[in-house]
Amino acid sequence: MIVFSSPRTVIDMPPPVISKISVTKVAARLLAHRGGASGVEFALLLPALIVLMIGAVDVGTLTFQEMEVTAAAHAGAQYALRYGWNQTAIQTAVTGATPLTVTATPAPQLLKACVTGGVVTTVSGSTCSGGGSPGNYVQVNAQAAVSPLIVWSAIAMPSSLSAQAMVRIQ
């Protein structure tokens, strides 16, 4: 018997018991114990869950950026519709329409065009193929670079997003 004493307490500890347990019995007891199985399963699945979560964030960010680029092109077209043709002002409307870094690339264009069968077709003359005179149209483009959180080798992600809007002005 080992006795530890201090001025205040006395601890009485029995000597260590060394028993002969076979290795097979210890292994059988460890394999029968299932207390940490869910923790191990979670640890194995966690990397896959993280990759799926980052993929969902990337797709959501891409969708949001696509909407922002489209809104920027529409803002430029709306400016042209309201104030008329001014290339610099339209470019400023495109770049200032969203907090996303958007450029008006290629630059806005003033086109002479006719609507034929629901399609806007540019013309060089003063009359349309179906008769009538061509109208003035402004074509506005917006573009932004895309940078995903992870470079996905199995999924083709665009490196840039672009949108186009066209409006007829006076």
Closest of 166, 107, 168 to residue 134, by C-alpha: 168
Partnered with residue 167 across adjacent β-strands are 138
Q: Where residue 2 falls among pLDDT bands split at 50, 70, 90?
A: low
**pLDDT band, very low/low/confident/very high, at 13 (cuts 50, 70, 90):** low
pLDDT of res. 22: 77
pLDDT at residue number 39: 83
Span 78-94, average pLDDT: 97
Position 132 scores a pLDDT of 83
Token code pair at residue 58: 């990337």
pLDDT score of 67: 97
**pLDDT tens per residue, range 21-50:** 777 887 777 677 777 778 888 899 999 999
> Does residue 17 surpass a pLDDT of 80?
no
3-state SS assignment for residue 25: helix
